[in-house]
Amino acid sequence: MGQGSLQIGLTLCIVIGMVPVLGRYMARVFQGEKTLLDPFMKPIERGCLLLIGVGRKDDGYGGKSQTVGEYIRAVLYSNLIMGALVYLIIFYQRFLPWNPNDFDAPSWDILLHTVVSFVTNTGQQHYTGETTLSYFSQVAALGFLMFTSAATGLAVGIAFIRGLTGQKLGNFYVDVTRAITRIFLPISIMGAIALVFWGVPQTLADTLVVETLEGRTQYIARGPVASFEMIKMLGDNGGGFFGVNSAHPYENPNGATNLIETIAMIAIPASLIYTYGIFAKNMKQAWLLFWMVFVVFITLMWVTVGGEQQGNPQVNVILGLEQPNLEGKEIRLGWLQTSLWAVMTTATMSGAVNGMHDSLMPAGLFSTLSSLFLRIIWGGQGTGIAYLFTYLILTLFLMGLVVGRTPKLLGRKIERREIILASVVLLIYPIVVLIPSAMTLAYPVSLSGITNPGFHGISQVVYEYAAAGANNGSSLQGLNNNTLWWNLSTCLSMFAGRYIPMMAILLLADGISGKPKIPETAITLKTNSLLFTVATAGLIMILAMLAFLPVLALGPIAEGLQLAAGS
pLDDT (tens digit per residue) in 386-427: 999 999 999 988 888 877 777 888 788 888 899 999 999 999
Please provide the average confidence, as pLDDT, over all residues in the chain.
90
Looking at residues 460-466, what average pLDDT do you find? Answer: 94
Examine the pLDDT at 58 and tell me if it is beyond 50. no
Residue 401: partners with Cβ closer than 8 Å, 6 or more residues away: none
Residue 159: partners with Cβ closer than 8 Å, 6 or more residues away: 71, 169, 170, 172, 175, 506, 509
Burial of 483 (0-12, 13-18, 19+ CB in 10 A): middle
- Pick the closest to residue 383 from 158, 179, 166 (CA basis): 158
Q: Is the peptide bond before 291 cis (omega within 30 degrees of 0)?
A: no
- In 328-382, which residue ranges form alpha helices assigned H by DSSP? 335-347, 362-374
Residues 502-534 pLDDT 10s? 999 999 999 999 888 877 766 667 788 888 899
Tell me, rounded to whole angstroms, the distance of Cα 506 from its chain centroid: 19
- Pick the closest to residue 208 from 199, 217, 216 (CA basis): 217
- Taking residue 319's Cβ as centre, other Cβ atoms within 10 Å add up to 10
Distances (CA, A) of 27 to 208, 277, 285, 408, 514: 45, 9, 16, 24, 22
Residues 123-134 pLDDT 10s? 999 999 999 999
Examine the pLDDT at 229 and tell me if it is beyond 90. yes
Residue 3: partners with Cβ closer than 8 Å, 6 or more residues away: none
DSSP string, 243-275: TTGGGSTTTS-SHHHHHHHHHHHHHHHHHHHHH
Measure the CA–CA gap between 531 and 528, rounded to whole angstroms. 9
Per-residue pLDDT band for 139 (boundaries 50, 70, 90) equals: very high
- Pick the closest to residue 493 from 460, 464, 450 (CA basis): 464
Burial of 321 (0-12, 13-18, 19+ CB in 10 A): exposed
pLDDT in the model for residue 521: 67
CB 467 within 8 A of CB 474: yes
Per-residue pLDDT band for 24 (boundaries 50, 70, 90) equals: very high
How does strand 217-220 pair with strand 412-413? Answer: unpaired
DSSP string, 408-434: EETTEE--HHHHHHHHHHHHHHHHHHH
Backbone phi, psi, residue 245, to 5°: 60, -140
Measure the CA–CA gap between 311 and 123, rounded to whole angstroms. 30
